[in-house]
Structure 1
Amino acid sequence: MSSTPTATPASRPREPEAVGPEPVGPKVVVIGAGIVGCSLADELTARGWTDVTVLEQGPLPAPGGSTSHAPGLVFQTNPSKTLAEFARYTVEKFGSLHVDGVSCFDRVGGLELATTPERLAELHRRAGYAAAWGIRGEIVGAARCKELWPLLDESVVLGGFHTPDDGLARALLAARAQQERATARGARFLDRHTVTGIEQRDGRVTGVVTDRGAFPADHVVSAAGFWGPVIGRMAGIDVPLQPLAHQYVQTRPLPELAGATAEASRPILRFQDRDLYFREHTDRIGIGTYAHRPLPIDPFAVLPYDEARGQGMDMPSSYPLTAEDWAPSWDDSRWLIPALRDAEVDEGFNGVFSFTPDGMPVLGESRQVRGFWLAEAVWVTHSAGVARAVAEWMVDGRPALDLHECDLARFEEAQRSPSYVRERGCQQFVEVYDVLHPLQPMESPRPLRVSPFHARQQELGAYFLEGGGWERPHWYEANAPLADGLDLPERDAWSARYWSPVAAAEAKATREKVALYDMTPLRRLEVTGPGALAFLDRMTSNNLRKKPGAVTYTLLLDETGGIRSDLTVARLAPDRFQVGANSIADLDWLLRHAPGDVQIRDITSGTCCIGVWGPLARDLVQPLTRDDFSHEGFGYFRAKDTYLGHVPVTAMRLSYVGELGWELYTTADLGLRLWDTLWEAGQEHGVIAAGRSAFNSLRLEKGYRSWGTDMTDEHDPYEAGVGFAVRMDKDGFVGRQALEGRGQALGQGLENRVASGRRLTPLLLDDPAHVVLGKEPVYVDGVPAGYVTSASYGYTLGRCVAYAWLPTAATATGTAVQIEYFGAKVPATVAEEPLFDPKMTRIRR
């Protein structure tokens, strides 16, 4: 890769000697022969795409990127199910690879230590993730930690989390093994080729230019690691990735390890309370630290391999160790491991790794330059899993795993500025080993995006959390008096964070009176043009061929019937639709498929929305308009353009909280006037502003799904409980063929999705005092059988509601299960949904 993204005249590339069969399939050029590029070449050629060329600027087999210095730690447990699946496959695959009789993976296990009560609780939570995702692990006491790692000072250890199937990946060896396999199938690997340009024509990639010639391509994959932004710029694509230096040292030989012959025999060790990890190097100890200040690196200033060597660097990814940053971690290391107190550091360096604003990889095909793919910000831990997913995506049209957390289209425009990427990347480095609450927001840069109502919300004492850059009120301190006298169970310290009893009062007020909810952060798309109806009808699962004024809940499916997203589509005119979507990735998906007679415009930033819900919603809204807002005059799932006071609005009779009401849309410049109009008119009805915390409780009581949490493209509509949004009598919609027969089986009372034998299932916790938060394992007959997706206390029901994916055999109403919460088994029972107002009388009044 080159730090100068300028094209050079194309010349004929050097032809390698034939070492395998004649390549077949599309021409693929992979940029970067690190662990990701080599893994991808292996996965592609194994699927029959053998016309693969891998270009590398450095020498093989050690090209000088992150792979060349990676310490090789592979811990599978992660709050992200997707990352855990990536790591699990990496362990499985590398464990099966050998080079010259040496395994590419050393299954020594992993041990995470706790020296504080907070960390010990966190390890119980991590053990829950492991059980949820099917990873072996157990919480062990200090004595067992000492057995596993005899060099520890047992007196400072409270306990640990032992994962016997984790271990050390020999990254360069694994890269070599996969390179050899891919080469045998027809791929070629060319080192000393610096990429200088990406060729494209008519919105498609056509080739890669290097300093040694041009290579035609149908697909180009940037697996360039921290050079990813450089390659991306050549293609005109922003890659939101920040390289940072991370310190790693090796000690001199330790007497306590004298005579060791194996590279490692003890588990890889994490001391997260001090941001440290340890691994053996035969008779030495390797130590890595995230405790130092962030050390960002400009990817455009990283030297090519030969220039780096010419300046005395071992490789472009290895900078000199900064002693002042290392000193505190060395003290902490000697505090934990007495054998290090008389030891000396033999060598060390600051090695460069990639970080994104949210800590996840950046994967997928660019919409702007079709055929240009990213496989970036991937660590060795997840490398083989990522490669398999990207290869599936390229060859089969979709990956088997849900990748929405990694999709390159997931970042908002406001999250793509260089300043944002740098600041958030640095913070991700700081937080690598931090104990993070699932609701914990970023601290900076905030506020970034605010609705027009923000000033009024601040006046009401809004407690803001953040999502997608938006400030989102979770409750309002102005409502605190309403919480007086409520009988609520006492919360544990973890579930009490980012929560307030005010949320219960706001939920109660919504059920009994009327509340205003800021729905502005929800994405809104305008779809227009003569082909708009046909396009949306083909792209979604429900019937959209209704008269203007109709609103339809529908699904975006992929070709396998997986749920890409759920939408509300309002037909406002014959050729004009407003689509309520989940993320910017939905916009990207629709734009990829839109024909020339359809225009799609993101109108989120220029508009705003207030949800007015509660039994007194009509009493509040009707006096403000001349239009009929009665049930007969304005039915459920209908829309109309009207005026409320002086404000033009598009009103949609929808409810995500299970109460009468409307979503009211207007332009951003009139948003504050709309809020004030509703607030003033609502005073006689006891109107309040309510936040996301109450909102989530109310929607779970009604069983309304949250895409990306409760269901993803790994699930079909029938097992997810949204089969009602599929109209199989409609021809030709995306995913229809894959769903053939599944709905009929459900209608005949057979098991839901027989092929998978699973179902999204409502659970009620038996004890009103218990609360869970999500991602906890669910046990059936004492065995982990599924996991919680969403959970919240149901204030109307007086018990915590949890939705979980469970085997169909365990989903009968009344089935007893257990949810593991910080190591404790909490009893719960499968319930019948909807849990609240099953006849929908409150919404349809």
Structure 2
Amino acid sequence: MTDIPSSAQVVIIGGGIVGCSTAYHLARLGIDCILLERRKLTSGTTFHAAGLVGQLRSNANITQLLGYSVDLYRGLEAETGLGTGWKMNGGLRLACNAERWTEVKRQATTAHSFGLDMELLTPNEARDLWPLMDVSDVVGAAFMPTDGQANPSDITQALARGARMKGALIREDTKVTDIEIEHGTIRAVITDRGRIGCEKVVLCAGQWSREFAARFGVNVPLVSMQHQYLVTEAFGVPGNLPTLRDPDRLTYFKEEVGGLVMGGYEPNPIPWAVDGIPSGFHYSLLDSDFDHFEPIMELALGRVPALEKAGIKTLTNGPESFTPDGNFIIGEAPEQRNFFVGAGFNAFGIAAGGGAGMALAEWVKSGEPPYDLWSADIRRFGAPHFDTDWVRTRTIEAYAKHYTMAWPHEEHRSGRPCRRSPLYDELARQGACFGEKLGWERPNWFADAAQGEVAEDVYSFGRQNWFAAVAREHAAVRNAAVLIDQTSFAKFVLKGPDAAAALDWIAANDTDRPVGSLVYTQMLNDRGGIECDLTVARVARDEYYIVTGTGFATHDFNWIARNIPDGMNCQLFDVTSGRATLSLMGPNARDVLTQVTRADLSNAGFPFGTARTIGIAGCPVLALRVTYVGELGWELHLPVEYAVTVYRALMRAGADHGLVNAGYRTIESCRLEKGYRAWGADIGPDHTPDEAGLGWAVKMKRNTPFKGREAVAAQRAAGVAKMLACFTVDDPGVVLLGRETIYRDGQRVGWLSSGGFGHHLGMPIGLGYVRNPDGVDRDFVLSGRYELEVATERVPCSVTLAPLYDPKMERVKI
């Protein structure tokens, strides 16, 4: 074997499908790279993957990424001369009860939204495509003709050959022993065959990634789980059989050499390597566990009776890496510059491999992904994910839910409670039903025991059991006042002589304002896309207090810290755990707050968009005059040790003003009525302020440079091709969840980015982008006749670009 080179721009660690795909795409971009595999290509987990390639996910861009894999695999054999086993034989998904059929119909609508052809079939039509199955319990099925299957080892070897053909080096039997990092900068990768100087590292080491990355302070939240599938002897299975997913029986099938591959996702999965992966584990399988697989086998026999007489060739038990939320991990590590990760593929690494390699290569080259991949971004994780035991506990639940019903608003149950506000017990006693985000327990809604309500979600695709409770809380927001525990907000302090100058560069809005100013702003990438959406309070000449969403703590901290210009003297601190947040909202909020503080709360003394420190019950409270529900209100930020005292003081003061507790589902209902955008749904890196209707928050009138300015200016000159609009349906029984297809004059023009119910207005509400390659303006959006496709049924809807609810028009109090 040729000696390893002394240097390369990029070193890829791991020779599975994702590593080889990354090498292929980096080489195609002309980037000098070398892939190192400690044993042989595919010898980790790729060699025993089942090889199903599906495309549809609930996220448009992940679906696009999987679709890229399909397009790549279709032409790879012709490009490289190596067989891949690729067959585009389509994919079937069965539904065996009414609620699963609703789920499948909603999935079909999602497919239509994203431009995929998913057909709904009767049981007999499904059997015509898959004649081996018994359809006596089938209600319906969905067929995706562009899904397929591949041979994992063959497709990986083809990608490796394609990488070599484009100039990448690949070295097997080369173990990486260390990464040389000097003052935070990657200098080299050390192997058992020598040192390779490099600028960037891409870790694609599968289930070995967590332990290896942790040596360098990088957190990769994944653990190994046992996954079994059997391979039968040939018994006349047609070669053109589609892949089959039977989620109600927890099983999947694909044809292989005239027989079947059958596996499943059992409700009691078994974690593997709890105390670490054994040394030398490669090209290795675990002992077959027939007892554990037997329930899956029984379920499969009910679907394919011929299995009972088919000979079993093997029962493969191979460990694979799974993650706490069932999505893979990709991107640049927030803890270490130029350290990229592609791992944790949850048994769909073959489906994702082509697209993931492309995305990683683009990310390495340009410093950002080709499009928004937030749902798979490594920065979606946070504090709880440093604890492997917590990660494993949650991942076991996620694995067990792989084929269970994906209910709207479903919450995880494992690993809870983890992070708690000081008010957790207090709110629990008052009927709070909690949800969880980034480990934080957050009140979603409050049950009224006097009305027989129980603080527990009951899931369905219709109106869920908390609908009436949220309606009560929403009414209090609009007519009286509510108190919402939002302690989970991520909170940062940017401090130093150059804090103002640094933030002026990073923020799209004007943050260089007088002390006491509160500014809503986006932070943009170089394409003008919205990377952060947050509020900034200037609390001193050299200090800012920054508030963002719970789930964006790692992402937003990382974005701000990495974009402070070189040489500027300021530091960013995360103060989330030390500060509680109580949001007091509603037309009576001022009356309540006046009872507990001597501060001037008048519009003149405390106008909207300002921040003041006030005293409440002996506590210094940073009060921010801001709202996300569309009413008069303050966010009250205070040291955690005062939280219970201040909460009780406010509740006592509000007793005569209708003050009640409220939760996050009420916030969602209220913000939809006001048309407030949510990052990660309605706005993100693929959406610009002008497209999102937020151009007013961009400081283009100031002759000041800021990140993304050139892109905003260019777009304003050229116009936009999509525009965020609000859609309403007159029928209150229609349930909007997001991803419903938008039709304008009978043509598909987009999908809802979020959906819900506006209780004050009494109607379903959705937000979504109206798209047109030739350009979109106000007249285009408002001139069409619109429909929404909801679970494959079209319903008429109305469109507006203005907020649906304006308290100033409904009452004088504010």
Change (3 A) 1:495 1:655: same
CA distances 1:159-193 after superposition (whole Å, capped 9, x unpaired): 11100000002322222222222212221111111
Q: Which residue of 1 aligns with 2:623?
A: 651
2:512 to 542, 545, 566: 545
1:460 and 2:430 correspond: yes
CA distances 1:318-376 after superposition (whole Å, capped 9, x unpaired): 21211111212222222111211222211121112211111122222234332221111
Q: Which residue of 1 aligns with 2:579?
A: 607
Q: Which structure 2 residues correspond to residues 671-682 of structure 1 after superposition, within 5 A?
A: 671-682=643-654
Aligned-partner SS, 2:546: strand
Q: Which residue of 2 aligns with 1:688?
A: 660
The whole-number CA distance in structure 2 between the counterparts of 1:214 and 1:602 is 37
Q: Which residue of 1 aligns with 2:59?
A: 80
The alpha carbon displacement at 1:110 in A equals 0.2
1:702 and 2:674 correspond: yes
Q: Which residue of 2 aligns with 1:43?
A: 25
Q: Which structure 2 residues correspond to residues 265-276 of structure 1 after superposition, within 5 A?
A: 265-276=240-251
Q: Which residue of 2 aligns with 1:161?
A: 142
CA distances 1:201-235 after superposition (whole Å, capped 9, x unpaired): 11122222222222221111111111112321343
Change (3 A) 1:292 1:251: farther
1:505 to 472, 494, 503: 472
2:339 to 348, 372, 375: 372
1:796 and 2:760 correspond: yes
Change (3 A) 1:833 1:292: closer
Aligned alpha-carbon RMSD (Å): 2.3
Q: What letter matches 1:805 in structure 2?
A: Y
1:740 and 2:710 correspond: no
Q: Which residue of 1 aligns with 2:330?
A: 363
1:284 to 230, 236, 259: 259
1:410 and 2:380 correspond: yes
The alpha carbon displacement at 1:291 in A equals 1.7
1:815 and 2:784 correspond: yes
Change (3 A) 1:148 1:209: same
1:34 to 16, 19, 25: 16
CA distances 1:276-309 after superposition (whole Å, capped 9, x unpaired): 11111121111112126322222874346xx457
The whole-number CA distance in structure 2 between the counterparts of 1:719 and 1:481 is 45
The whole-number CA distance in structure 2 between the counterparts of 1:788 and 1:812 is 14
1:171 and 2:152 correspond: yes
Q: Once the two structures are aligned, what percentage of the paired residues are identical?
A: 34
Change (3 A) 1:814 1:155: same
Q: Which residue of 1 aligns with 2:47?
A: 68
The whole-number CA distance in structure 1 between the counterparts of 2:812 and 2:706 is 30
Q: Which residue of 1 aligns with 2:368?
A: 398
Q: TM-score, normalised by structure 1?
A: 0.90
Q: Which residue of 1 aligns with 2:748?
A: 784
1:302 and 2:277 correspond: yes
Contact conserved, 1:53 with 1:187, CA < 8 A, in 2?
Answer: yes
The alpha carbon displacement at 1:702 in A equals 0.8
Q: Which residue of 2 aligns with 1:348?
A: 315
2:528 to 557, 561, 580: 561
The whole-number CA distance in structure 1 between the counterparts of 2:113 and 2:450 is 37
Contact conserved, 2:745 with 2:784, CA < 8 A, in 1?
Answer: no
Change (3 A) 1:843 1:294: farther
Aligned-partner SS, 1:466: strand
Q: Which moved more, 1:770-779 or 1:733-742?
A: 770-779
Q: Which residue of 1 aligns with 2:409?
A: 439
The whole-number CA distance in structure 1 between the counterparts of 2:813 and 2:157 is 64
Contact conserved, 1:658 with 1:842, CA < 8 A, in 2?
Answer: no
Contact conserved, 2:76 with 2:84, CA < 8 A, in 1?
Answer: yes
1:15 and 2:3 correspond: yes
1:726 and 2:698 correspond: yes
Aligned-partner SS, 2:360: helix
Q: Which residue of 2 aligns with 1:97?
A: 76
The whole-number CA distance in structure 2 between the counterparts of 1:268 and 1:228 is 30
Contact conserved, 2:581 with 2:636, CA < 8 A, in 1?
Answer: yes
The alpha carbon displacement at 1:664 in A equals 1.0
2:794 to 825, 830, 843: 825
The alpha carbon displacement at 1:844 in A equals 8.7
Aligned-partner SS, 2:50: coil
Q: Which moved more, 1:834-843 or 1:551-560?
A: 834-843
1:236 and 2:217 correspond: yes
Structure 1: state its 5+ residue gaps: 1-12, 18-22, 310-314, 484-490, 746-752
Contact conserved, 2:109 with 2:789, CA < 8 A, in 1?
Answer: yes
Contact conserved, 1:526 with 1:601, CA < 8 A, in 2?
Answer: yes
Q: What letter matches 2:98 in structure 1?
A: P
The whole-number CA distance in structure 2 between the counterparts of 1:118 and 1:416 is 37
Q: What letter matches 2:466 in structure 1?
A: W
The alpha carbon displacement at 1:132 in A equals 1.7
The whole-number CA distance in structure 2 between the counterparts of 1:205 and 1:725 is 38
Q: What letter matches 1:15 in structure 2?
A: D
The whole-number CA distance in structure 2 between the counterparts of 1:240 and 1:686 is 44
Change (3 A) 1:111 1:514: same
Q: Which structure 2 residues correspond to residues 311-326 of structure 1 after superposition, within 5 A?
A: 315-316=283-284, 318-326=285-293
Q: Which residue of 2 aligns with 1:148?
A: 129
Q: Which moved more, 1:70-79 or 1:234-243?
A: 234-243
Q: TM-score, normalised by structure 2?
A: 0.94
CA distances 1:57-115 after superposition (whole Å, capped 9, x unpaired): 2224xx31221111110111111223212210000111111054745521000001122
The whole-number CA distance in structure 2 between the counterparts of 1:607 and 1:178 is 50
Structure 2: state its 5+ residue gaps: none
Q: Which moved more, 1:171-180 or 1:627-636?
A: 171-180
The whole-number CA distance in structure 2 between the counterparts of 1:376 and 1:596 is 35
1:590 and 2:572 correspond: no
Q: What letter matches 1:47 in structure 2?
A: L
The whole-number CA distance in structure 2 between the counterparts of 1:532 and 1:83 is 36
Change (3 A) 1:821 1:504: same
The whole-number CA distance in structure 2 between the counterparts of 1:700 and 1:792 is 7
Q: Which residue of 2 aligns with 1:487?
A: none
1:771 to 730, 735, 747: 735
The alpha carbon displacement at 1:481 in A equals 6.4
Q: What letter matches 1:395 in structure 2?
A: K
Contact conserved, 1:543 with 1:730, CA < 8 A, in 2?
Answer: no
Q: Which residue of 1 aligns with 2:184?
A: 203
Change (3 A) 1:291 1:299: closer
The alpha carbon displacement at 1:841 in A equals 8.2
Change (3 A) 1:759 1:844: farther
